[in-house]
Amino acid sequence: MAAAPYDLLIEQGTDYDRVLTLHSQAEGRPPLDLTGCQVRAQIRPHHGPDAGLLHDLATAGGLTITDPANGKVTLSIPGSVSALWAWRTAVWDLEVVDSGGKPLRLLKGAVRVDPEVTR
């Protein structure tokens, strides 16, 4: 099954916090048990091998598994980080890596940064 579309709209300079419930691709789509798993996500300017990294959510501490049994992940981007971004549009995806090292891409989409006016 393909990754589900999930676009991000980030208000520049404002903390971005979302609790995501990741679902299994099994019949009925129950929450995915994340026990023993890792999550990773990156933002890049476009798809392709030459797309530089704009932001790595996993290494920046922006992804936290908050309720593994119920598939809950918190995605956070501090306003102090987005305030420094000069780019306005990008793409992203989120993968779960199981305890055996096998990745599963669950979410994908566009990222739009709404520029800050008041500083």
Domain presence at residue 47: yes
CATH number at residue 23: 2.60.40.10
**In the chain, which residue ranges form alpha helices assigned H by DSSP?**
79-82
Which residue stretches of the chain have pLDDT < 50? Answer: none
Q: Tokens 């920046």 map to which residue?
A: 60
Phi, psi of 53 (to 5 degrees): -80, 125
DSSP 45: S
pTM equals 0.92
Q: Going by C-beta distance under 8 Å and a sequence separation of 6 or more, which residues neighbour residue 114?
A: 9, 10, 11, 12
Q: What pLDDT does residue 1 have?
A: 67
For the stretch 5-33, pLDDT in tens is: 999 999 999 999 999 999 987 777 899 99
Domain presence at residue 72: yes
Q: Which structural domain range is residue 39 located in?
A: 4-114
Domain presence at residue 119: no
Phi, psi of 81 (to 5 degrees): -80, -50
Q: What pLDDT does residue 27 have?
A: 79
Number of structural domains in the chain:
1
Tokens of 112: 């739009």
